[in-house]
Structure 1
Amino acid sequence: MAKSRPVRGATLNEASSRFNLPGREADGDWLDARADLDDAPPPLRTTVTVERARTIITRNQSPDISFDRSINPYRGCEHGCIYCFARPTHAYLDLSPGLDFESRLFAKPDAPALLRAELGKRGYVCRPIAFGTNTDPYQPIEAEWRITRGCIEVLAEHDHPLTITTKSNRVTRDLDILAPMAAKGLAAVMVSVTSLDPRIAMTVEPRAPHPEKRLQAVRQLADAGVPVFVSLSPVIPHVTDHELEHILERAAAAGARTAFFLPVRLPHEVSPLFRAWLDAHFPDRAGKVMATIQSIRGGKDNDPNFHTRFRGHGPWAELLRTRFRMAARRYGLDQQVLRLRTDLFRPPSGPQGELF
């Protein structure tokens, strides 16, 4: 059984086999040599590397996603959520989707300037930009780097709509920008709450804020007039599914407008990482958890197909949907999705235009 590192999500740090990268031991340096002697994994330090991106707006044409563009100020995420579907992206950097993903991070400090330039391009068509679609824009390093805030400042300056998905109460730090944008119909925030049990949350999402802090953030956002939604994604069978109704009740009490959920997804390298995590933290139910996930995913660990990848199928998936619908209706969380305005957008004038 793999040993868990203190306050980390993954128990492994293996390189991806999809790209024929060389295998390596967890962490691969003197710290692991020390662990062999001390019989305990040492703390793993977080490092941040500057990435000089050429563009910052990522486009997608997925038919089952409600947005067509997004911004990710960071690569990797220190929250360390074991189920994170973005983990495989670290393989493209010749790094492990395991511990590397949550400890070897990349920041894009040029993001606000790149964003301003892209908004000013001829022919740009305004549609809401989504933050938090890959890694959390308010993960701990945002406190120092403030790249997410810089991007929001640019969007606010030009009345461009945005959505934010986060597990962090740090989003409330930017209420001075988000509240005025929301008053114009330009901003909405989705807060992720997957468990109210601090012991489970600390295991599933080891460096994300306490669930109560997230619910407090929902209340602060709602009180400031920012449309706020709650995501229960992902629901992990036999680990967090029993909390579904209670989370919806607490979300409604905190002022959320609506909510949604997705069954857990295990694409590419996430599956072996998740299995190892189950063996380490929930050995008594690991087989049951995986059997139920496979029943939702057509007999496999993951279903990559459009539409069904977010819904799942079979009796277990249908039971989850029924429970969710009933609870959402009971607590008034079955309202229509908010439509953000795009007609207020004013593109950057450019250096020449600013002369007049």
Structure 2
Amino acid sequence: MSDGQSNRPRTAEDPTKAILSKSGLNEKYLCDYVLNVASGCSHGCSFCYVPSTPNIRTRGEMLKEQVDVDDGQEEWGDYVLYRDDIPERLESKLSRKRTWRETEGGQGIVGISFHTDAFMDPRAADISSKTIQILGDYEKYTRVLTRNPKLANHYQHSFEQARGYVTIGTSVPTLDEDAVSAIEQNAPPVESRLDGLKEFADAGFPTFISLSPTYPSIDSRDQMETLLKKVATADPDVIFHEPINQRGANFQMTVDAAWNHSHDELGSQLAKIRDRDAWRRYSLKHHAWVQELGDKHDLPVHLWPDSRLMSIADGAVEAWLRKWYDRQSPEPFAERPTPSTPMPKIPDEVGSLSL
């Protein structure tokens, strides 16, 4: 079984005690809990926000001791600490747990894994597959996110055991494989991601695609249309969309990765959106394109507007973004109700940007 990696990270066992953590990802209509099968991720995506979270940022001593990490952010992609005991400990916890969080956005779903890739390699896949089975046994809805659904296909028996309680998705930022290899280092190619996800859809499992983060090198409506039409071939139940966030050390690492891999066009476009107004225009333009094209091709799109983008918008633009932020996602998984309102009208100011 291919794991999609070209470089092997430093590995160890993770001493983390927490199992299920409440999550703010219900604001994105994803989940109410997260469960991570490892700390660190072998894909090493430069834009990843995880190294700046407490799970990595506050555990420097542990990372140094376990895998000789000096800087959790700079060395992201070079280390993985696996949580091999998660399935056993999870079953014990669920057998005793009497309350369960279920928000309107999260629907009580457990997200595996949003701080690492659930199927980045066979070891992570073994942990994840057992975890999926246990959650299914306890009738807990589970959302799996992976850039390696091809590997996940080798574990369909686990998904079968949890059928009706599990959905699987993948991330697709662009169809430019040179850009993907520059920014996502060791992750499988986009074509492989879509092929693997389509196998799950053909087998009758609910699926989703995270169209994120779309790069500013997608600089025309036609390019975005090509991207959307391609991801639609995987037959996902929902296509989430999010532009890249230009703040934080991970954004500078993304710019550097593009330059270091001689992807000059992408590097130039990323460097331009360091400017807040340029980032605002790019983000609004991409959101508008995805909404327009989703409507045109009858695709189940759902926008994820950034809170900072809303904070620097005003009037009709802010209201448009806020309506998306508050709108239910069009995904039937976990008995989610269908959106009660149509897609909000794109303001004239944003529509002129998207021409």
What TM-score, normalized by structure 2, do the two folds share? 0.71
Q: Secondary structure at the match of 1:64?
A: helix
Q: Is the 8 A contact 2:216 2:282 kept in 1?
A: no
| Contact 1:131–1:162 under 8 Å retained in 2 | yes
The residue that corresponds to 2:9 in the other structure is 46
- 2:226 corresponds in structure 1 to 246
Contact 2:213 2:243 in 1 (8 A): yes
Q: Does 1:55 align with 2:49?
A: no
Contact 2:167 2:333 in 1 (8 A): no
Aligned-pair CA distance for 1:293: 4.8
Q: Summarize the Cα distance change of 1:243–1:47 in structure 2 as closer, same or farther, 3 Å threshold.
A: farther
Structure 2, gaps ≥5 residues long: 61-68, 102-107, 302-329, 337-355
- The alignment status of 1:262 with 2:236, answered yes or no, reads no
Count the aligned residue pairs.
284
CA contact (8 A) 1:98 1:273 kept: no
2:81 matches 1:106: yes
Alpha-carbon distance in 2 for matches of 1:267, 1:137 = 26
The yes-or-no answer on 1:85 pairing with 2:60 is: no
- Which letter does structure 1 place at the counterpart of 2:92? A
Q: Which has the higher contact order (CA 8 A, sep 6+)?
A: 1
Q: Provide the C-alpha distance between the structure 1 equivalents of 2:215 and 2:171, rounded to a whole number of angstroms.
A: 14
For residues 105 and 156 of structure 1, do their structure 2 counterparts lie closer, same or farther at Cα, with a shift above 3 Å needed? same
Matched AA of 2:143: T
1:223 aligned onto 2:217: no
Q: Summarize the Cα distance change of 1:267–1:87 in structure 2 as closer, same or farther, 3 Å threshold.
A: farther
Distance 1:174 1:266, change over 3 A: farther
* One-letter amino acid matched to 2:232: A
2:303 paired with 1:324: no
CA distance in 2: counterparts of 1:77 and 1:240, whole angstroms: 30
Over 4 Å off, 4+ runs: 239-243
- How high is the sequence identity, in percent, across the aligned residues? 18
1:288 to 1:195, Cα distance in 2 relative to 1, 3 A: closer
Alignment of 1:1-356 (within 5 A): 45-61=8-24, 64-66=27-29, 67-89=31-53, 90-94=56-60, 95=69, 96-125=71-100, 127-142=108-123, 146-169=126-149, 170-182=151-163, 184=164, 186-238=165-217, 243-281=223-261, 282-283=263-264, 286-295=267-276, 314-334=280-300, 336-340=330-334
* CA separation of 1:180 and 1:147: change in aligned 2, threshold 3 A: closer
How far off its partner does 1:61 sit? 4.3
Is the 8 Å Cα contact of residues 53 and 110 (structure 1) preserved in structure 2? no
1:262 aligned counterpart, secondary structure:
strand
1:45 shift after superposition: 4.6
- Deviations 1:37-94 (Å, cap 9, x if unpaired)? xxxxxx9752111013322111134672332211110111111111111122433232
In the alignment, the residues of structure 1 paired with residue 223 and residue 121 of structure 2 have an alpha-carbon distance, to the nearest angstrom, of 26
Equivalent pair of 2:40/2:80 in contact (CA under 8 Å) = yes
Pair 1:208–1:63, CA change in 2 (3 A):
closer
- Cα distance between partner residues in 2 of 1:198 and 1:287: 17
Structure with more helix by fraction: 2
1:231 alignment partner AA: S
